[in-house]
Amino acid sequence: MPVAKPYTRIPIRECGEPLATIPRDVFALTEPHPYATLGAPYGDASPWMLRLSVIEALKAAQNALQSRKPGWKILLFDAYRPNAVQAFMVEHEMASLARAEGLDPAKLSEAEREKFLAMALRIFAVPSDDPATPPPHSTGAVVDCTLIDEAGHEVDMGSPIDENSGRSLPDHFAAAIDEAGRRAHANRSLLNEIMESAGFRRNPSEWWHFSQGDQLATWIDRERNPNGVARFGRACK
């Protein structure tokens, strides 16, 4: 059994705010959606949904970005993720890791499954149907994102979203002395600054993952608000 992540101890007091569709005329979206393309089971749900106030906060972040970098936009990679999709992506990541080591994912021993599960959980949360421990993306309060410049080109962040390596850590390039590394760190810092200005908090393990009002964001804010309670639990379409 995977070890529960510490933020799952944060209590939830669901506010009941509905999911809404992310406006395509405001934000750039990664299309086709990367997980849907893999066959992730969204059913009649859409990955391009967030809680209403989170969409408004995302608009504020984009305004902050454009005040510093005119013409730049936030590029959304993923947003709402039902638990069935979370489980699918964990299995997909485990299979990819196994194949990378020359193993057949269908023939893994229990020890090998545990090994690859632990590796997959470095970038994916534990799937859970328990209302007290929803995967962050299942709350509708989380977005995975990067930036595009005025020409519509993705800004160099030093590693792609969902890369399962140490390069995903937000400060991986903080001490870089080469130009590419310094540029990647500056771009990651810019993304974090404009998202934080709108009330988002960055996942300590992933440069691209931002949330507000869920267990993870509340846990990150525990020093400022030690008795904080998450306002977003598992979202219902």
Q: Which of 154, 193, 206, 223 is catalytic?
A: 206
pTM passes above 0.75: yes
- Is 92 inside a domain boundary? no
Determine the pLDDT at residue 79. 98
Residue 118 lies in a domain: no
How far is residue 186's CA from residue 61's CA, in Å, rounded to a whole number?
17
- The answer as to whether 87 is a domain residue is no
The yes-or-no answer on residue 206 being catalytic is yes
Q: How many domains does the chain have?
A: 1
Q: Is residue 48 domain-resident?
A: yes
Peptide bond into 32 cis (omega under 30): yes
Give residue 3's pLDDT band: very low, low, confident or very high (50, 70, 90): low
Q: Model confidence over 179-235: pLDDT tens digits? A: 999 999 999 999 999 999 999 999 999 999 999 999 999 999 998 888 999 999 999
Task: Decide if 16 is inside a domain.
Answer: yes
Whether residue 153 has pLDDT greater than 80: yes
Query: Which amino acid is located at 12 in the chain?
Result: I
Tens-place pLDDT, residues 42-76 = 999 999 999 999 999 999 999 999 999 999 999 99
Looking at the domain assignment, is residue 101 inside a domain? no
Mean pLDDT of 117-122: 95
- Whether 30 is in a domain gets the answer yes
Task: Identify the sign of the CA torsion 195, 197, 199, 201.
Answer: positive
The answer to whether position 67 is within a domain reads yes
Provide the token pair at 48: 């391009």
Q: Can you give the residue range of the structural domain that contains 22?
A: 6-78+139-220
Q: Which domain CATH number covers 51?
A: 3.30.1380.10
